[in-house]
Amino acid sequence: MRPVRLVLALLFLAVPCLYAQDLTGTWQGTILATPNNVRTIVNIVKSDKGELTGLMYRPDEEYWQPTPVSAIKVQGSAVTFAITMMDVTYTGKLAADGKSIAGTWAHGAATHPLDLALVTDAAAKWTLPPPPPRPKPMPADANPGFEVATIKPGAPGRQGKLIGFQGRHFNAINFNVNDLISFAYGLHTQQIVGAPAWFATDLYDIDGVPDVDGTPSQKQQNLMLQKLLADRFQLKFHHEQKELPVYVISLAKGGPKMTKSTAGPDDPIAFFFRAFGNLTVANLSIKDFATWFQGSVTDKPVVDHTGLTDRYDFKLLWTPDDSQFVQFRGHNPLPPPRDDPSAPPSLYTAVQEQLGLKFEATKALDDVIVIDHVEKPSPN
């Protein structure tokens, strides 16, 4: 899967990890979900600051992708963690010797036993299959659409969103029409004018196969989704310019502090969160960063006024406020900030100190699309 998921995508989002006792190492066990028992590996590491993070693997999957494990907490013998992009929580009890955890894997409303054992003997560790070969890219001059696509209502009450490719299949999970238009056209939802109320409330799952071989670029993915919206949702609109409340990114005194990426423009990109306010970016221009950032974090459009054209790799650490990440957390409040003098600064300060840029709220003319016609898709 190309790492363009909003998982985030997509990609990866969770509450900050607590400082915890040492659970570092490789833990493995089997999710008892008869008849589909699933062997699972959780690898936990500790950062320089003592925070626990992890990755989850499934060694029996043909195409495995490591999935971020976050919110790892240990309170006494109680162990909890989350796999946000899978809507999974885990709760367990750590044995007195610290070498096993008896616990429960909860996926949505379903719960299954999962006991984990710390594995220190290399011979006892389950072998992971080799990762799939890098997929062949779609020809740069291709103008793809969907050969076939199914659109179904999203599961009620399911949290999180996912968008991207798994093999030949494009998937968008738990997306409303505002999300789809934002992704397809690189817009913030505030740039969509005249939308019916159901744009924000009706959730859809989409599974489609492109009509051209190869993995599409980001631009080609956008084009495919634009065609799907026009065909299956009968979307018609026109463009206008409108003054909107926006965030403007500009150069701070001293210039950018980011590292220029050595990857090529057609190489994979990265935009993922290890926690709310803990962002990793790789191989993105500032213009692309602004598009991804407004789609996942901010309550207003983000406009790039830096004039920078290079692609960059950087990390951004900040303490979010309640105006941020609404797209993912809905009405759930952010966890209260830790009473920690070393906690990351606000977004405005972090962008200037860590990236050498300014992030300011203002008003500016921006492009909007005005909805002329749209229909709900027929079920299939």
Q: What is the pLDDT along the chain (380 residues), one digit of tens a residue?
A: 444 444 333 333 333 333 345 799 999 999 998 788 999 999 999 877 777 888 888 888 765 667 778 778 899 999 999 875 566 889 999 999 999 999 999 986 789 999 999 999 999 999 887 766 667 889 989 999 999 999 999 887 777 777 888 778 899 998 999 989 999 998 999 999 999 999 989 999 999 999 999 888 888 999 999 999 999 999 999 999 999 999 999 999 999 999 888 777 767 778 888 778 888 888 899 999 999 999 889 999 999 999 999 999 888 999 999 889 887 766 566 666 666 777 899 999 999 999 999 999 999 888 999 999 999 997 77
Are 200 and 286 part of one and the same domain? no
Are 77 and 151 part of one and the same domain? no
Q: Is residue 375 in a domain?
A: no
What tokens appear for 319 in the block?
Answer: 């303490």
The pLDDT value recorded for residue 14 is 36
Q: Which residues contact 141 (CB under 8 A, 6 or more apart)?
A: none
Residue 56: give the domain boundaries.
Answer: 7-120
**Rounded Cα gap, residues 153 and 165, in angstroms:** 19
Are 95 and 184 part of one and the same domain? no
Are 260 and 191 part of one and the same domain? no
The pLDDT value recorded for residue 64 is 64
What tokens appear for 102 in the block?
Answer: 């008896």
Q: Is residue 87 in a domain?
A: yes
Are 232 and 285 part of one and the same domain? no
The pLDDT value recorded for residue 224 is 96
Q: Is residue 17 in a domain?
A: yes
Instruction: Render the burial of 145-157: b for 16+ CB within 10 Å, e for the rest.
Output: bbeebebeebeee
Q: Which of 210, 236, 262 is the last residue in one of the domains?
A: 236
Q: How many structural domains compose the chain?
A: 3
Q: Is residue 290 in a domain?
A: yes
Are 169 and 185 part of one and the same domain? yes
Q: Is residue 125 in a domain?
A: no
Q: Which of 173, 201, 236 is the last residue in one of the domains?
A: 236
Q: Is residue 188 in a domain?
A: yes
The pLDDT value recorded for residue 107 is 81
DSSP assignment of 213-230 equals SSBPPHHHHHHHHHHHHH
Q: Which residues contact 327 (CB under 8 A, 6 or more apart)?
A: 161, 179, 295, 296, 297
Residue found under tokens 């701070």: 252
Are 261 and 293 part of one and the same domain? yes
Are 75 and 153 part of one and the same domain? no
The pLDDT value recorded for residue 329 is 63
The pLDDT value recorded for residue 343 is 85
Are 103 and 172 part of one and the same domain? no
The pLDDT value recorded for residue 260 is 85
What CATH number is attached to the domain comprising 57? 2.40.128.120
CB atoms within 10 A of CB 258: 22
Are 360 and 248 part of one and the same domain? yes
DSSP assignment of 141-175 equals T----EEEEEEEEPPTT----EEEEETTEEEEEEE
Q: Which of 105, 120, 135 is the last residue in one of the domains?
A: 120
Q: Is residue 376 in a domain?
A: no
Are 174 and 253 part of one and the same domain? no
Are 203 and 248 part of one and the same domain? no
Helix residue ranges, H only, 208-365: 218-232, 286-296, 326-329, 347-350
Q: Is residue 126 in a domain?
A: no
Contact 301, 244 (CB under 8 A): yes
